[in-house]
Amino acid sequence: MTTEIDQYPRVIPAVDIVLMTVRDGRLKILVHRRQQDAKTFPGQLALPGGHIHAQEDADSLMAARRVLKTKVKVDPSYLEQLYTFADGARDPSGWSISIAYYALVPSALLEHMDRSVTLVDAEAIPRLAFDHNRIVDVAIERVRNKASFSSLPCYLLPEKFTLGMLQAAYEQVMNTTLNKANFRKKLEELNFVEPIEGEMQMGKQRPAQLYRVKPGRLAVFNKTI
């Protein structure tokens, strides 16, 4: 039987993920090198991504999760739809759709990465396959906008963190420097972190109080700092 849908050229939808973390005090994006025998952009750097499997993926978010699990062996705590790139020019093999997601993870989760996978500095993204540079630009812009001032950057940190680490994460994501006193006053107000009784981070100098996100207060979105 010929139905209406057979009239149109087939389009295979995919997901691509901009995975971000903070490593060495800098905001990083995860990229991987494509196989040398890939039909398109062989050997080039690209975002992790893959086709949607309709029989396997309940929705596009699940597809993104599956791709990350398979290709990067990571299950991110924060994963959100970014934008959909759909046109006839972005993929040389034809009209294509990429539902792009962005993810935030603590860098400790990325210890055992494949050799084909690397982190690149958000301020110096190399040339990527397809329209992936554009996708990364949109992702960074989105995160910058959302970060100020929500609890988003907490997803880049381990469960326990000092206020110094937290401020550094905000500064990385927002690409600015913040005043320490004002930052802490604002945190007080927003009220989504709490000190962990008696737990201190020992270091080279004065020990710092360890904090955690208050239960249920992750990803509370708010105004500017």
Partner DNA sequence: ATAATAGTGTCTTTTAGACACTATTCC
Partner DNA sequence: GGAATAGTGTCTAAAAGACACTATTAT
The least CB distance from residue 223 to DNA, in Å, is 5
State the Cα–Cα distance between residues 38 and 45, nearest whole angstrom.
Answer: 12
Query: Which of 161, 128, 140 is closest to 19 using CA atoms?
Result: 140
* Mode of pairing for the β-strands spanning 13-23 and 96-104: parallel
- In the complex, the residues that contact DNA under the rule CB under 7 A are 162-164, 179-182, 184-186, 189, 202-209, 223-225
Helix pair 163-174, 132-147: axis angle to 10 deg = 130
Q: Does 81 bind a copy of itself (CB under 8 A)?
A: yes
Is 98 strand, coil or helix?
A: strand
Q: Which of 23, 77, 97, 117 binds a copy of itself (CB under 8 A)?
A: 97
Q: Are 42 and 34 in contact (CB under 8 A)?
A: yes
88 makes contact, choosing from a copy of itself, DNA, none, with CB < 5 to 8 Å by partner type, with: a copy of itself
Per CB under 8 A, the list member of 17, 29, 45, 52 interacting with a copy of itself is 52
- Is 88 one of the binding residues for a copy of itself (CB under 8 A)? yes
β-pair type (13-23, 208-213): unpaired
81 binds, among DNA, a copy of itself, none (CB under 5 to 8 A by kind): a copy of itself
Give residues in contact with a copy of itself (CB under 8 A): 4-5, 8-13, 51-55, 57-60, 81, 83-84, 86-89, 94-95, 97, 99, 223-224
